[in-house]
Chain A
C-alpha cells in the first residue's frame, strides 16, 4: 500500500512532528515500505488464532482501592517548564 505525500503531511501533523518538505518523498517511500510489510503479514490466515495479549498468558493483578500517594506537587513541578499557582502552564489551547 502506497501513501501519498499529503498523507505523510497529515501523519506528521497528528504526531506533532515537524518535517522538512524536502524529506517528504523519502518518508513517503519508507512508510509505504512498512505498510507493504504489514500487507505481507496480513496475507497469513489468522482466523483460527486468538490474538495474543501477553506471551506468558498472565492476567492483570488488581490493586486495593486505597489512597497511597501523598502530595508531591513541588517535587514534580521542578521539571515543568512553567507553573503558576500550582497549575502547569502550556501554550493556550481552546477548543
Chain B
C-alpha cells in the first residue's frame, strides 16, 4: 500500500533572558548544581511568581516574525504532574490563551521550491530541572538551575510530509529565533529541543493514523534520522497488518532507532486550571507596534535581497542568510570589497572550511570581517594573487594580526606576498631562471609546438619559487615572449 507520512513538530526554545520567567535567579548555563535555584524555583510554600517582562517581549517578537496573531490577553495555567525535577508539582504554561496564535513560516525544499507550514500556536512556559541518574548510589540527583528558565513552545500544524521537510522547518525556526536574538540556538546545550509527532495513513485517506511522539531530539540531523527510522518502523507494522500504539518514544542516535519510553500504567491527567498566582497578562496595540519596530531583517528578506540585489545564486543566498552572524560577516566584507560574489566565494570556501576545521563559530574566528574585506580589496587591485590571499588569511587564522585591516597590509609586506605585476621586474626574474636552467630550455625548445603549453609549466614553478607573489598571468606572458625569442 502507498502510505502518506504526517509530521508535526513541537519546538521548545529557551528564551535568552538574564533571569528566570518568574524569579530573579540567573539563567546562565553551566553553573554548579542548584546555585541558581531560589525559593520560587524550588516551589517552597508561600512564594509568589513575578513575571519577567523580557520573556513576554521576546515571545511577542517571535509572534510578529512568523506573522502570527498576538494574544493581547494571555493567561497562565498549571499543568499538574508529578516528577522530582518540578518540585512545585506543576508546570506553569499557557493552555487556552497563548501569547502567540496562528502564524506561518516558509521552508525551502531541495528542488528549490518553498512550502508554507502553518504554526498552530506558541506559548510561554517554564522549563523543568534536570535529573541525573548515575553516580548517586542508586538515587537520582536533582539540579534545579534550569527550573523556571523561560521557554516558548512552538507547535506546528501536522503539515510536513517527510523527514527532510521537518528538518528544514526546524532549521528555519532556529534561524528565525537566533536572528531575533531571543534564543542563543545552542542545540548542544539544549537551548532548542524538538518533539516529533509522526503518523502514517493510506494515501488519499482524510483521517490521520495513530501517531507516536519522539521526545527531545536535539540536532537537525537527528530530527531527520529519528523521523525516518520511525516511519520505517511504523510502515513495517502497518504492512504486516499490525496497529500503531500511541506512545512516547526516544531516539537512540547510536543505534539509529526509536524505542518506547516506559509506558505508564495509568494515563496522565494534567488537571489544567488557571494559575491563581498569576493574573491575566494584558498588552495593547501600542505595545505590539513598539515590539514590531525592533524586528531585524529576517532570514527570508535577507536571502531575497542577497539574491536580487547582489546577484548571488539562490543556494549561495540561502546558505549565507541562514545564520545571522555569518550573514553580517559576509555583508561587511562584501561592502568593503564592493564585490558580493567574491565575498560569497570566500565566506563559503576558506572561511567556512576554517570554521568547520577548528569547530568554532564565526564570532570566534581570528579573521575579522574588516580584514577579509581588505584581503578581497587587495585581490581585486591585483596586489595579492589567490595563493597569497590564502596565505594571509591562514596567517590571520593563526593569530598573526590584531583584527584591524591595517594588519593585513603589514602581513602582506612581512610575508613578501605583494604580487609583482611590473613586467620589467618579472622579465629580470624570468631571464635569471632561463639562464640558470639551460637543460630545461633545451628540452622545451625540442618540444613540438602543440605540446609546449604543458612544457612551460616547470618554468612557471621556478619563477614563482624565485619570487613569491608574482602575478601568474604576467609570468605566463613574459615566459612565452622570452621563450619564443630564443
Contact = CB atoms under 8 A, between A and B. Distances in A.
Contacts of A90: 84, 139-140, 142
B280 A60 contact: yes
A3 to B, nearest CB: 13
A16 B82 contact: yes
A76 B142 contact: no
A65 B149 CA distance: 12
Majority SS of interface residues in chain A?
loop
Interface string A46-57: 000001011000
Interface in B160-211: none
Given A59-B280, A66-B19, A67-B19, A93 B84 contact: yes
Contacts of A10: 266
A74 to B, nearest CB: 10
Contact of A88 (B144, B266, B278): B144
Contact of A62 (B37, B39, B52, B84): B52
A68 B24 CA distance: 5
B83 A93 contact: yes
Contacts of A95: 261-262
A13 interface: yes
A10 B37 CA distance: 33
A72 B38 contact: yes
Given A68-B19, A87-B34, A87-B132, A63 B51 contact: yes
Nearest to B97: A53
A23 interface: no
Nearest to A15: B82
B25 A92 contact: no
Contact of B53 (A64, A69, A71): A64
Interface string B284-322: 000000000000000000000000000000000000000
B326 interface: no
B53 A93 contact: no
For chain B, the bracket of interface size reads: 35 or more
A73 B281 CA distance: 32
Contact of B38 (A13, A69, A77, A88): A69
A88 B25 contact: no
Contacts of A60: 51, 278-282
B114 interface: no
Contacts of B38: 69, 72, 76
Nearest to B280: A53
Interface string B260-283: 011001101100001000111110
Given A66-B19, A67-B25, A86-B32, A76 B37 contact: yes
A82 interface: yes
Contact of A73 (B34, B44, B141, B261): B34
B143 A87 contact: yes
B50 interface: yes
A14 interface: yes
A66 B24 contact: yes
Given A10-B266, A58-B279, A59-B282, A73 B139 contact: no
A92 B133 contact: yes
A91 B140 contact: yes
Nearest to A84: B136
Contact of A53 (B19, B23, B75, B268): B75
B448 to A, nearest CB: 78
A82 B138 CA distance: 13
Kindly name the residue among B24, B54, B75, B138 whose own CB sees the greatest number of chain A CB atoms within 10 A: B24
A73 B143 CA distance: 11
B42 interface: yes
Per CB-CB distance, the 7 closest pairs between chain A and chain B, nearest first, are: A68-B24, A87-B141, A65-B54, A62-B53, A86-B33, A60-B279, A63-B50
Interface of A: 10, 13-14, 16, 51, 53-54, 58-69, 71-73, 76-77, 82, 84-95
Given A85-B33, A87-B141, A88-B144, 8 more contacts: A53-B274, A61-B50, A63-B24, A87-B34, A90-B84, A90-B140, A91-B140, A92-B136
8 contacts: A59-B279, A62-B52, A64-B54, A65-B52, A76-B39, A76-B42, A91-B139, A92-B139
